[in-house]
Every structure is written in C-alpha cells, then in structure tokens.
C-alpha cells in the first residue's frame, strides 16, 4: 500500500508557524505589561519612602520638595496607568489572535489524525483481504 500523505501538510505547517508567531507577539505584549507594572511598583515604593521620610519633618523646604515630588509621582502613575490600559488591550487582542490560530491548527491536526486513522484502517482491511486470498487460494489448491 502506498505511503500516507496528508494533502494539507503545507497548510498545517504554515498555521503552526502563524501560531508560533502569535505566541511570540503575545509574549512581547505581556512583557510590555510587566514592564509597566514594574515601573508602577517602583513609583509606589518611592511614594511610600518619601512619606515615611517626611513623617515628623518640620522643614518647610523639605516638605514642599516632598509634596512636589509626590505630585510628579502621581503624574507618572497616571501616565503609566493609561499605558497599562492600552497594553492590556493589545495583550487581549494578541491573546485572541493566538486562540484563533490555535483553533485552526488544532482543526488541521484532528483532520490529519482522522485521515491517518482511516489510512490505517484501510491498510489493515487490505492486509486481511490479502491474507484471506492467500488462505482461500491455499485451500483451493488442496
């Protein structure tokens, strides 16, 4: 019997490539989210440090500088929160692309497995028929 050939092998490989590209893109988007979150965490830590340092301070210039620094931190935080919202939207879009790509790839894998199973069933049936023919011809000769 001839060798099994999946007619859509090239399409399946292309879809696997697209899936791997989608995984890479999602990874990049999630890395961007993580980077923004790290910056937000740093801002929170700086804010806490300034507030802790200013407890009980009576120096007006120091208090004013700390207040101005807190305003700057709040502005940076607001900017980063907007960037985080945008990054989350991008990540969600990349996640959907990956999910669709995985579904398409999985459908081809299932089709290939089904065709391979049918090929093996047909091969087994052919072997049985050959064995039956040999047995039948052996009995006819006797």
Tokens 């089709």 locate to 111
**Predicted model pTM:** 0.76
pLDDT at 15: 97
Sign of the four-CA dihedral 11, 14, 19, 25: negative
108-126 pLDDT, tens digit per residue, is 999 999 999 999 999 999 8
User: Rounded to whole angstroms, what are the CA distances from 142 to 70, 73, 95, 135, 136?
Assistant: 104, 100, 70, 11, 10
21-63 pLDDT, tens digit per residue, is 999 999 999 999 999 999 999 999 999 999 998 888 888 999 9
Q: Say whether pLDDT at 1 is over 70.
A: no
pLDDT at 129: 86
64-100 pLDDT, tens digit per residue, is 999 999 999 999 999 999 999 999 999 999 999 999 9
End-to-end CA, the chain: 29
d(C-alpha 28, C-alpha 130), whole Å: 57
Question: What single-letter DSSP state applies at residue 84?
Answer: H
pLDDT at 114: 97
User: What are the tokens at 5?
Assistant: 């050939």
d(C-alpha 137, C-alpha 142), whole Å: 9
């Amino acid at each position: 019997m001839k060798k099994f050939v999946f007619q859509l092998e090239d399409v399946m490989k292309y879809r696997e490539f697209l899936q791997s590209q989608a995984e890479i893109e999602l990874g990049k988007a999630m890395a961007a989210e993580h980077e923004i979150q790290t910056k937000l965490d740093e801002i929170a830590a700086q804010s806490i440090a300034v507030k802790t340092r200013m407890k009980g301070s009576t120096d007006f210039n120091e208090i004013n500088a700390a207040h101005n620094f807190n305003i700057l931190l709040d502005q940076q935080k607001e900017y980063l929160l907007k960037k985080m919202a945008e990054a989350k939207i991008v990540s969600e879009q990349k996640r959907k692309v990956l999910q669709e790509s995985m579904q398409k790839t999985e459908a081809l894998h299932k089709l290939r497995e089904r065709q391979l199973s049918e090929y093996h069933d047909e091969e087994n049936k052919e072997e049985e028929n050959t064995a039956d023919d040999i047995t039948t011809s052996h009995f006819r000769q006797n």
